[in-house]
Every structure is written in C-alpha cells, then in structure tokens.
Amino acid sequence: MELQLSMVDGSVCMKDSAKSEISSERTLYPYVTGTSIIGMKYKDGVILASDTAGSYGSTLRYKSVERIKQVGDHTLIGASGEISDFQEIMRYLDELILYDKMWDDGNSLGPKEVHNYLNRIMYNRRNKFNPLWNSLVLGGVKKGQKYLGTVNMIGTHYEDDHLATGFGNHLARPILRSEWREDLTFEEAVKLIEKCLLVLLYRDRSSINKFQIAKITDEGTTIFPPYALKTFWGFSHFQNPSKGAAGTW
C-alpha cells in the first residue's frame, strides 16, 4: 500500500493510492442479471427472444429490462448476464457504428463483422482478468445472407442455425434440435420460440412471464413490445414435485 500526500485547505492529507485503484475497477461479480436469450434462423431472416427480467441476486427486482437491441442496419443483439456490462457493450457498439457511418462510403458493417468485433472485445477483457459478464447472441441479415452467432464472457464464439444462452442452452436447445427447420415461416418460428420460452418460464426461477421478440430481415428490423404467454400450472409434478422421488421428505 502506498500513501500519497496532498494539500487540502493548507493542511496535509494522506491518500491511500490502493483505494483509488480499487475504485476504478469494473464488475468483479454480476449483480443485476438477465437470463436466457434464444435465437434462430427462419425462412426470411433471424428471430431473437428473451424475457424482460433483471434479477438482483435471487430477487426479481426489475421487470422491464429490454435485453434485445438493434446494432446498425443489419444486426440484432441479445444479452444475458450483467446488465451494466451489456450497457458498456452497447456503448462500444454505438461508437463502432458511428465511426463506420462517418466514412459515408456506401458500405455498412454486417452481423459477421460486428460478431468478430465482439469476439475481440470479450477475449481482450478476459485476458485482462476484467471480463464483461455476458453471453451474447447476435443475428442479422445482409444481402440476403442470414447470420447467427454467439460469444461468451471468455471469448468462446461460434455460429449455428439456432442458439441459446444460460438455462436455454440446456432446456431450449433440445427442443430446437428436434423441431427446427430451415423453411420455418415467421409464424411457425414464433410458435416454436414461444414453446421454448414457456419451458424456461416453468423451469428457470429467474424468468418471468413477460417476453420480447425481435426479427430482422432484408426489409429491416422489428422489435415487438413485451407480452405475456398463457400458462398452465396444473401439472401433477408441479403440485407434488417430490412424489416418487427417492430420498425426499
């Protein structure tokens, strides 16, 4: 620990430089977090979905946190994990898109370029032991080419026809592997993604019944207002979850 001297109103004060260094650190642990993001390609474009919950620990503190955003003209991004870090990522992306538009050369960044940029950002922060605590799903369409990719807080990234983060990676991906088709219409894609969202609502305590869906096609981007799904809680395993289980009370 290093002590520094400074003059305040003519008197000498000691300042702990170690404390000033600590005050400049970023997220050491996620506090307000969002749960799963689901994304998939369909016949005309890409669709993303999430709920709008922001959990403070195990408390569902915020109910209207929109975690799907538009990036430039060709890209949608959804984030699970720390909300403040997602806001920092959006600040990076706003600067990137502004810089790209300032060239005014008729070109614009597509989803693949934005995904590559985020891969470098996440991996760079991981190497500094100061990661951004998010898992991101990024989808878009440019010149008729659909794109869907993901990157997590340590920079692991890949592309696929359907993706999910958080609990969705365990509970929604099996449904998507079984029922997804390349020629899904938008209505069929919404129906399939709502089936995944319902499973997550039933099984993920951090999920709430307030969902948001967004789509992107060659015609543009649409982020729909949040809405609720019809639920059924009368399943026998919900009413008596320990029935037939070994070693329960």
Return the active site residues: 27
Beta strands in the chain (DSSP E): 3-8, 11-16, 32-34, 37-41, 45-51, 54-56, 59-62, 68-71, 75-82, 134-142, 145-151, 157-159, 162-164, 211-217, 220-223
Name the residue among 67, 86, 88 with its Cα closest to residue 76. 67
Q: How far apart are CA 92 and CA 73, in angstroms?
A: 16
- What does DSSP assign to residue 227? B
Instruction: Pull the structure tokens for residue 8.
Output: 């305040």
Amino acid making up residue 140: G
Sign for the pseudo-dihedral over CA of 169, 87, 84, 120: positive
